Amino acid sequence: MILLRAAALLRRGAAGLAALMAWAAGWNYVLCALFVTADILGRNLLGVSSAATVEVTGYMLACGIAWALAHTLACRAHIRVDVLVNRLPLSLRAPLHLLALLLLAGFAAFIAWAGWMLWDESALFDAHDNSALRIPLVLPQGIWTVGLIAFAAMCGVLLLESLLALLLGEPRRLDALLGSRSLQDETEEALQAVAMAKDGRG
pLDDT at 17: 96
Cα–Cα distance, 133 to 104 (Å, whole number): 37
Question: pLDDT tens digits for 171-189?
Answer: 888 888 888 776 676 777 7
**Left (φ > 0), alpha (ψ -120 to 50) or beta: where does 147 sit?**
alpha
Give percent of the chain above pLDDT 70.
96
Cα–Cα distance, 167 to 184 (Å, whole number): 28
Tell me if the pTM is above 0.75.
yes
Query: Measuring CA to CA, how many Å separate 179 from each of 78, 90, 118, 164?
Result: 11, 11, 34, 16
Question: pLDDT tens digits for 80-116?
Answer: 777 788 788 888 888 999 999 999 999 999 999 999 9
The vertex-32 CA angle with 31 and 33, nearest 5°, equals 90
